[in-house]
Amino acid sequence: MKKIILIAAILLGALTKGQAQVLTKRIGQAVKEGYQDVKEAIVQDAKPSGEHTIWDIYAAPKVGLNLSNLPGIDGKVKLGLIAGGYFEVFVAKNIAVDAEIKYSRQGSSGVYRNFTTTDATGNIVIQEHGPYDFKLDYFNMSYLVRWYPWADLPWSFTTGLNTEYIISAHAKLKHGADMNLKKGIYRGDVAIPLGISYEWKQWQLEARYNVFFRKLARSNEAKELMRNARNNMLEVTLGYRIQVL
């Protein structure tokens, strides 16, 4: 009886080992084929031009840097990060519409503010405070029209509407307190983007200036510090275009 059990265990072990080897081989082959499919979908033989087929659809992640400041207060230009992606659909041979989402860090640095107070004798005293470093983090949604004016050149021009929603907002006084401005400024902002881009293979280099109009400060405390400040931003991004249809 013991011999029979031992022989059965050996046979079961051999069978299990063989099945495991077959299963491992099949999994490896599936992973290899899946990787190849993904690679072929992402790496395309693109020869961009200014003329496309109607209803072509592209997707593109993008990342870059922006230069921003806050007109209305005397500050320095701030360097920030911008990252996101968009979908693009061609509605004509040389015109596409885009829907884009992205994150951006904006603001201004080296900002000084003068505050008027009265001393113990009733005299008016002007006190200078600063420098402040403004850090504004936004979630952006853009609705754009892209125009390719030349059929044989991959240059395009972009405009539309950019909406921003505040994620966090801080004004840090050098060697001092960090003021949370999120509740003191307007939650949303709107801009008109004006951009130009060039495509090479699947890469797209784009420069875009966003024209803002709205004053940021909403509460009295924020108005005391920010006065008539509004957003102002120039962004330069590098995107990787993938044709999905």
All structural domains of the chain with their residue ranges: 1-43, 50-243
- The whole-angstrom distance between residue 62's C-alpha and the CA centroid of its chain comes to 7
Query: Sorting pLDDT into bands at 50, 70 and 90, what band is 59?
Result: very high
Domain 50-243 matching CATH 2.40.160.20: the answer reads yes
User: What is the pLDDT, as a whole number, of residue 65?
Assistant: 98
| Per-residue pLDDT tens over the stretch 135-189 | 999 999 999 999 999 999 999 999 999 999 999 999 999 888 899 999 999 999 9
Taking residues 189-193, what's their average pLDDT? Answer: 98
**CA-to-CA distance for 140 and 163, rounded, in angstroms?**
6
Query: Sorting pLDDT into bands at 50, 70 and 90, what band is 3?
Result: low
Query: Sorting pLDDT into bands at 50, 70 and 90, what band is 124?
Result: confident
Query: Sorting pLDDT into bands at 50, 70 and 90, what band is 93?
Result: very high
Residues 185/200, Cβ–Cβ less than 8 Å: no
User: What is the pLDDT, as a whole number, of residue 10?
Assistant: 62
User: What is the pLDDT, as a whole number, of residue 121?
Assistant: 79
**CA-to-CA distance for 181 and 108, rounded, in angstroms?**
14
| C-alpha distances out from residue 128 to 99, 115, 122, 125, Å | 44, 6, 19, 10
In this structure, what token pair is assigned to residue 12? 């079961």
